[in-house]
Amino acid sequence: MSEERQFYVPPGGPPRTSAPSPEIYAAMGDENIFAMLADFYQQLEASSIRGMFPKDMARASRKSAAFFVGLLGGPPLYHQKYGNPMMRARHMPFPIDEAARQVWLACFDAVLADAPEKYSFPVAHLPTFRDFLAGFSGWMVNTA
């Protein structure tokens, strides 16, 4: 008999961080956001949490990039193609603990290290974007 999985709910509920500035999209545009997410997924592919992601990482990166385009102030590509993101619900099938979250954040940090030069990410918005990622990823944790 299999044991039923107990879902963890982070204290405080959904993150209370502000959405990233639309100035990010204005500076980067679709092409740079898609390139940044492709590089992020290359980092994830080489990480210890690779097993949480689909076999087709290129497709997964494009789906994620569509989400980030809208999040960063561009058109709602994700909504148009996939519907409401419902990110916590979409992540529930995967047991995400704090260690996995830290790996995910480290992969994003690696990509953000040269994001201003490589993707035209506005330097002034890096701290608030990192804050957003920390809050967002904290809400995806579903396993103690």
CATH number at residue 53: 1.10.490.10
Cβ-contact 70, 78 below 8 angstroms: yes
Angular region, 58: left φ>0, alpha ψ -120 to 50, beta rest: alpha
Reported residue count of the chain is 144
Structural domain that includes position 91: 22-140
Structure tokens at 32: 């740079």
Helix (H) or strand (E) holding 5: none
Q: How many domains does the chain have?
A: 1
Per-residue pLDDT at 64 exceeds 70: yes
What is d(CA 76, CA 98) in angstroms, rounded to the nearest whole number?
A: 29
What pLDDT does 3 receive? Answer: 66
**Do the domain assignments include residue 8?**
no
- Note the pTM of the prediction, 2 decimals: 0.92
Question: pLDDT digits over 30-60, tens only?
Answer: 999 999 999 999 999 999 999 999 999 999 9
